Structure 1
Amino acid sequence: MQAETHQGIYTKTEQKFAWIYLINLIFYFLPLFVASFKWWQYLSMAAALGIFLFCYFKAYRSKFSAMHKPILGIIIIASLITPINPGSISMFAYAGFFIALAFPLRQYILYISTLALLLVLLDFCYTLHWPYFLTMGIPILLGVSFFGRVERQRLFHQQREQRSADEISQLATTVERERIARDLHDILGHTLSSIALKADLAIKLLDNQQPDAVRVQLTELSQIARDSLSQVRQSVSGYKHHGLSAEVSKLLARLRDGGFNAELQGRVPALDPRSETALILVLTELVTNVLRHSNGDSCQLSFGQKNNNLIISLYDNGQAENLTAGNGIKGIKERLAALNANINFCLTSGYKATINLPLPLGNLE
């Protein structure tokens, strides 16, 4: 698991703060105020500082997989300058930070122990001008490396949160696309069926030379088309309606226009907006199926309550032989499943669809 971007482990904004963390180089400059050096030593320290800064920013902007190279560069230049300036311990501290940041726990322990051993060897092999090179250097190294481990965990936690946010966003996008697809299927399927019925009726009336009746049908057809356009526009931001009762009245009117003797039994309840929207779209799809496929002439829509469940039934007297579960039926089941509801179909003595919707206690009278 690696908290990396295509630019490295840090964003461009975070990389701008890299200069601030160079404050620990104060240990590198302290010897300049307490001891005198030859000109070539000053030149060596300046060159070492330049190389260190290059490696530091290279490490800060690298991915974990490429960070070992600048880390090694920091360790080498710090080791070479130590005999001249033991303040190089600050450079070793930065190397410890990046080791803790870049490597898993086992490798971190191995590498940081090796680095501490290197400090012991440098102190043993050279006569350093700072007697506290080890007694202060190793605690500083280990302390700074601890902050590197903390930073590693922060980056991984940040990556996990970002991944979760991306997954949620992607899931929300997928769900929204599916919702729009279902809405368009339900809304347009019903509307186009109604338009076709109106157009057929207008043709028959025209053949019978009833221009006034034709005008009425064409006016209603025009209104249906406008309503359909409005619903398509609304579907991209959430289906809007005038309530379950009003939409049920429209569906019954469409059935009557299609030649059915449509009746409503029971009282249409008032539900929460989410449930009403889902039920309206489900009933729209069911009515569309009746208009398209039923060869009957009577249809009943009933609302009732049983054991605190809302029972909605749509029945027509057509003689259907089988029921094919297409996209419409699939969409119906998906909408109802989101409400913990279900639907059953029966083809005995006609076509009957029964919706069972659990309701909170006291929702219906």
Structure 2
Amino acid sequence: MNKANIYSNSQLESECKVEDKFAWVYLINLGFYLIPLFVQSKPTWQIAISLITLIPFIYCYFWAYRAPRKEAYKPILAMIAIGIAITPINTGSLSLFTFAGFFIGFNYSLRQAFYCLIGLAAMLALMCSLLDLHYYFLIYGSALIAGVGLFGIAERKRLAAKLAEHRSQQEITQLATMLERERIARDLHDIMGHSLSSISLKAELAQKLVAKKKLEQASAELQELNTIARDSLSQIRQTVSGYKHKGLSSSVTYLCQALRDKGMSVILEGDIPKLNPDVETHLILSLTELCNNIIRHSSASHCDIVFAETKEALSITVTDDASIASLNEGNGLTGIRERLAQFGGTLDYQLNANTHFTLTLPRQGKA
């Protein structure tokens, strides 16, 4: 019995994914449920009822497997109820109680799990007394429930440690992003500092020469100024070209930090996909345009960036809490539409209590 969701807090719910491909494997433990049916030569009707009972139990198993912590008690109680109902017919129900024990250990704190498992053992003792069952039912059942419950606790702690490691990796990534930003600022200063100073001096000198009617000398200075500007533009393009392909994930992290630097709270949801470099570059530029518009023109205090994928398309939704009555599309949004159109993508937006921009790309845009 395994579960890749751990629900000790809301962030853990969003970080951990349910490993459905492993869910069926642990149902092999139901083999112990079936053993008494054939070892004790049960009547056909009892065998039939026992087998039918597995249908709602398996449903409750997957319900518990996917349920958030605050809702986990519902499938756990349902499994216990099914186990109680079938025990008079099949004492293999102990197997059903162990599943409940695992989910108790997995979903609740050590203190809560301890009291719940004690309660489950007390329930076995009561059933043993009322149904006149062999005392082995209580001894073996209590031992199995305790052991599997401890396994659930261990699994929860393992996933908590995995999350802590993931958080540490995120912190390292954020630190690397900050260092990258500093490098970009330093590169731009090195590239443009001298060039802008030269442009300023050349422009000032040309202005003075024009004032003194020395047009040929002024023309030469302007020509040099033009050359400096073109060289500077070329250097910037080369530098930015190198930045474009740092990856969509790094660029989104940078944009989130830029929004936070302006005092906004930012939530990033969904998995950032790997795209081919051409699509990725245009998507980075489009997201940068949207985020810069929010920074420059919006009075928002919160922004959500959500990545979602279906079999047909990838969608990215940028939402801020600013209310806009109308929107005049300028060159920025037109440019985004043109970039996305190259790959069959679209840009849509909605204006209401919040402002929603949705970029959609067909899946063939993926790498």
Confirm or deny a common fold (TM above 0.5).
Answer: yes
Quick one: which amino acid aligns to residue 64 of structure 2? A
Contact 2:107–2:156, Cα closer than 8 Å, also in 1: yes
Quick one: which amino acid aligns to residue 117 of structure 1? A
Quick one: which amino acid aligns to residue 197 of structure 2? S
Equivalent runs, 1:210-289 vs 2, <5 Å? 213-214=217-218, 216-236=220-240, 237=242
Q: Does 1:195 pair with 2:199? A: yes
**Per-residue deviation, residues 149-206 of structure 1 (Å, max 9, x unmatched):** 1101011112222223333334443453455356546644542332121123234445
CA distance 1:57–1:10, change in 2 (3 Å): farther
* Matched residue, 1:173: 177
Which of 116, 121, 130 is the equivalent residue of 1:116? 121
* Matched residue, 1:73: 78
How far is 1:209 from its partner?
6.3
CA distance 1:212–1:8, change in 2 (3 Å): closer
* Matched residue, 1:259: none
CA distance 1:54–1:10, change in 2 (3 Å): farther
Q: Does 1:159 pair with 2:163? A: yes
Percent identity between matched residues is 49
Which of 27, 48, 51 is the equivalent residue of 2:53? 48
* Matched residue, 1:58: 63
Quick one: which amino acid aligns to residue 46 of structure 1? L
Coordinate RMSD, CA, aligned:
2.9
Contact 2:103–2:152, Cα closer than 8 Å, also in 1: yes
Which of 25, 29, 33 is the equivalent residue of 1:24? 29
Most deviating of 85-94 and 205-214: 205-214
* Matched residue, 1:92: 97
Quick one: which amino acid aligns to residue 54 of structure 1? Y
* Matched residue, 1:101: 106
Contact 1:9–1:62, Cα closer than 8 Å, also in 2: no
Contact 1:27–1:90, Cα closer than 8 Å, also in 2: yes
Q: Distance in 2 between matches of 1:183 and 1:224?
A: 17
**Per-residue deviation, residues 27-60 of structure 1 (Å, max 9, x unmatched):** 1010122123334423321232111111110111
Contact 1:10–1:61, Cα closer than 8 Å, also in 2: no
Quick one: which amino acid aligns to residue 205 of structure 2? L
* Matched residue, 1:37: 42
Q: Distance in 1 between matches of 2:9 and 2:168?
A: 13
Which of 128, 146, 151 is the equivalent residue of 1:147? 151
Secondary structure, in 3 states, of the residue corresponding to 1:2?
A: coil
How far is 1:226 from its partner?
2.8
Q: Does 1:2 pair with 2:2? A: no
Contact 1:97–1:148, Cα closer than 8 Å, also in 2: yes
* Matched residue, 1:273: none
* Matched residue, 1:11: 17
- Structure 1: runs of 5+ lacking an equivalent: 239-365
- Structure 2: runs of 5+ lacking an equivalent: 1-6, 244-367
Q: Distance in 1 between matches of 2:27 and 2:83?
A: 15
Contact 1:123–1:133, Cα closer than 8 Å, also in 2: yes
Equivalent runs, 1:133-144 vs 2, <5 Å? 133-144=137-148
Q: Distance in 2 between matches of 1:118 and 1:142?
A: 14
Contact 1:45–1:81, Cα closer than 8 Å, also in 2: yes
* Matched residue, 2:339: none
Q: Distance in 2 between matches of 1:175 and 1:61?
A: 39
Secondary structure, in 3 states, of the residue corresponding to 1:132?
A: helix
* Matched residue, 2:254: none
Task: Decide which structure has the larger Cα Rg and report it.
Answer: 1
For these two proteins, the number of residue pairs brought into alignment is: 236
Contact 1:83–1:127, Cα closer than 8 Å, also in 2: no
